[in-house]
Amino acid sequence: MAFEYAPAPESRSIVDIKPSYGLFVDGAFVDGNGAAFKTINPATEETLAEIAEADEADVDAAVQAARRAFRSWSRMPGKERAKYLFRIARILQERARELAVLESIDNGKPIKESRDVDVPTVAAHFFYHAGWADKLDYAGLGPNPRALGVAGQVIPWNFPLLMLAWKVAPALACGNTVVLKPAETTPLTALLFAEICQQADLPAGVVNIITGAGGTGQALVGHPDVDKVAFTGSTDVGKAIARAVAGTDKKVTLELGGKAANIVFEDAALDQAVEGIVSGIFFNQGHVCCAGSRLLVQESVAEEVLHRLKRRMATLRVGDPLDKNTDIGAINSAEQLARITELSGIGDAEGAERWSPDCELPASGYWFPPTIFTGVSQAHRIAREEIFGPVLSVLTFRTPSEAIEKANNTPYGLSAGVWTEKGSRILHMADRLRAGVVWANTFNKFDPTSPFGGYQESGYGREGGRQGLAAYLKGGQA
Amino acid sequence: MARLDVRKTYKLYIGGAFPRSESGHSYEVADAAGRFVANASLASRKDVRDAVVAARKAFGGWSGRTAYNRGQILYRIAEVMEDRRPQFEDAVRQSEGLGAAAARGQVDAAVDRLVWYAGWADKLAQVVGNANPVAGPFFNHTAPEPTGVVGALAPQESSLLGLVSTLAPVVVSGNVAVVVSSYGRPLPAVTFAEVLATSDVPGGVVNILTGDATVLGPWLAGHMDVNAIDLVGVAGHPDLAGELEVAAADNLKRVRRAPAAEPDWSIEPGLEPMTAFLEHKTVWHPVGV
């Protein structure tokens, strides 16, 4: 049963993409010394702009600018710092549609997500942290909390502007200055954010945005005058960063990969659970570190849940990210599409059964249909490795203890989901799941007041909430 | 003829039992003046691995105890220690070369520190956790949980107060520990293990190895089933501490870094020694009828 929809594209005339972008250092856009690279629209493969690459000298200049700005920024009364953050939050709201469209063009995510989730949450992060700037003494993180200094921040491509907000807002509220590197495939909203900092008259050097790939990130993380490293991305890079900062005084937070279990008990409200399974794995094309990529469904309802899930998946609309009816947009890059394709192929080769609804994929751009694998065992690579795409592995269980054992059988520990109508079972499961975020009868919810981060190889430190402040303060104890 | 005294064999403490080192090796322990006191077991890589296995096995039970119960048990350790103060005073005097009054001060402070930490067991979650007022119809709260198996290199100088101050914050929140004692001053740690064995601490919750932190540290730091490590025992050895941090990155252990010098253990520790080995778990649930 497929409904026909007329195209409902969001106009892209609201954005003005320049042919080329420099680095944002010390309050101004400057040329980079590295070889410029292109950012493309993953839905069309059209080149959007040329982006400057920061080399070591550029990184050094940005860190020096941040260091110079730190002196006055960290000594500025908290209530004044707060007003800059409130001002930024307001401009983010004023330019919300522009940011959402630009994010969808550069990233490939559906406009309804960038418009209704990413950008509003970005503004909320700045509002939330603005209010902390003059209340740090009341955060309960020990006496006399002080800023750390210069924060080097490296963020991924899956939520480009939202990850920027998670990094920049608490850093600034606590009196740090930042050098932030967006992902090389999604730099545009970070560069627009730089313009917003200019509009807000944020003092030069407080926020610096440098673009580039892995080498630029390494230079930033390894810079001797960086006091704090914050990274969101893959577990492999997270480990490399942990090695790079070994033996230094740098404070580090890492928000890394995941392979979350989404556990459905037989007494769950099944239609709601199916909605949760769908948003758990297909939200943002599954490019979500906390995605519910392992469905653990109780054996007695497995057939029924799969039936309803397939029926629901058949209604998902894959296509133009700027179409307001689109549920699943483009895969962010050719490289990521290759990885999803490869791991799915391994799923086939290892004997799992693949299913996707009939859906027509656009001829150009990077696309992958919503996919589930059944007959998956814990030893299968698609049950162990992060695919970071719209691919769900389905496993079954009989007892709560078996569900817990399977859910925890992973080196990760970022998130987990539980679906049951029994309150005591929710609390029992929430207690025993070794994960930093447990969503019970919901999934993939985020809020600036709610700390986010992982156990084990999903990283350390929290972002958001009172606990997230500790990552940017000396004397912080949480 | 005067009665010949019966000397104690100083052994390791693993899984609630007192084995010798699997390696069969021991080493001579001297007092502060350099006189031979006893042979201590020289723990090996295999002993580290056995201790980690014992600790992992104990984690579910210990972390699943109520905070009230863990507090009771930590207080019980203090009680039993108090009862054996003269023995600890002798051990500390011998190990650290202190006068009687100073040694007594160390023992008193160690007992008092256990009492201090015992009281934290059922308060920590209230102090470091909280409800989160999210912008939507959801119940949302954040509470601390223990990280898991913690490897602790105990300080080299403070053989009892430093040891207790390193261990208590690890286990009070539900973590389990594999501790490498001071190399040169290991005997108070063995006596402390004997206290643990008679204080209702479940076997495997605390495992104490006597031996060389510079040798055992790399095995502990690189062990894939250890979740966190405290490097205070290699304070003042930045190169080694850096190497251990690199090894710890293999499974992203939480690292409590080595300070430049051994800290002043007489100062009230604050929350940090406990929060260094906590995870924060956030739970969401919709609100509705």
Specify if A14 maps to a domain.
Answer: no
> β-pairing, B138-146 with B130-131?
antiparallel
Name the residue among A194, A240, A197 with its Cα closest to residue A217. Answer: A240
Q: Are residues A266 and A198 in the same domain?
A: no
Q: Are residues A157 and A213 in the same domain?
A: yes
Q: If one looks up domain B26-286 in CATH, what number appears? A: 3.40.605.10
User: Which residues of chain A make contact with B281, given a CB cutoff of 8 A?
Assistant: 430, 435-438
Q: Are residues A202 and A225 in the same domain?
A: yes
Between helices A96-107 and A160-173, what is the axis angle to 10°?
130
How many angstroms away from the CA of B109 is the closest CA of chain A?
23
* Cα radius of gyration rounded to whole Å, chain B: 19
pLDDT of B128 reads 96
pLDDT of A3 reads 66
Strands (E), A124-267: 146-147, 150-154, 177-181, 207-209, 228-232, 251-255, 261-264
Closest residue in B to A242 (Cα–Cα)? B249
- In sequence order, what are the beta bridge partners of A24? A29, A209
Q: What is the CB-side half-sphere exposure of residue B52 using CA atoms within 13 A? A: 22
Q: Are residues A176 and A226 in the same domain?
A: yes
- pLDDT of A478 over the 60 cut: no
- pLDDT of A329 over the 90 cut: yes
Q: Are residues A47 and A181 in the same domain?
A: yes
Q: Are residues A274 and A223 in the same domain?
A: no
Name the residue among A223, A73, A216, A90 with its Cα closest to residue A155. Answer: A216
- pLDDT of A476 over the 50 cut: no
Q: How many domains does chain A have?
A: 2
Q: Are residues A269 and A247 in the same domain?
A: no
Quick one: CA dihedral A477, A66, A465, A242, positive or negative? negative
Identify whether the C-beta of residue B277 lies closer than 8 Å to the C-beta of residue B254: yes
Q: Are residues A233 and A322 in the same domain?
A: no
- List pLDDT tens digits, range A133-153: 999 999 999 888 999 999 999
Q: What element of type H or E holds B50?
A: helix B45-64
CA distance B205 to B196: 10
Tokens of A154: 């490296």
- List pLDDT tens digits, range A310-321: 999 999 999 999
**Assembly ipTM:** 0.96
| B286 to A441: CB separation less than 8 angstroms, yes or no | yes
C-alpha to C-alpha distances, B12 to A25, A349, B83, B182, B251, nearest whole angstrom: 58, 49, 22, 13, 27
pLDDT of A2 reads 57
Specify if A451 maps to a domain.
Answer: no
Residues 6 or more apart whose Cβ sits within 8 Å of residue A294: A259, A260, A261, A262, A383, A392, A393, A395, A406, A407
Tokens of A298: 């109780």
Q: What is the DSSP code (8-state) at residue B259?
A: P
Specify if A126 maps to a domain.
Answer: yes
Residues of A forming the active site: 255, 289
CA distance B128 to A121: 25
Q: What element of type H or E holds B208?
A: strand B206-209
Q: Are residues A60 and A174 in the same domain?
A: yes
User: Which residues of chain B make contact with A467, given a CB cutoff of 8 A?
Assistant: 128, 142, 280
Task: Give the CATH number for residue A108.
Answer: 3.40.605.10
- List pLDDT tens digits, range A258-269: 999 999 999 999
Q: Are residues A71 and A100 in the same domain?
A: yes
Owning domain of residue A388: 261-440
Q: Are residues A243 and A306 in the same domain?
A: no
The pLDDT tens digits along chain B (289 residues) read 799 999 999 999 999 999 999 999 999 999 999 999 999 999 999 999 999 999 999 999 999 999 999 999 999 999 999 999 999 999 999 999 999 999 999 999 999 999 999 999 999 999 999 999 999 999 999 999 999 999 999 999 999 999 999 999 999 999 999 999 999 999 999 999 999 999 999 999 999 999 999 999 999 999 999 999 999 999 999 999 999 999 999 999 999 999 999 999 999 999 999 999 999 999 999 999 8
For residue A246, give the nearest of B136, B242, B272 by CB distance: B242
Q: Are residues A180 and A196 in the same domain?
A: yes
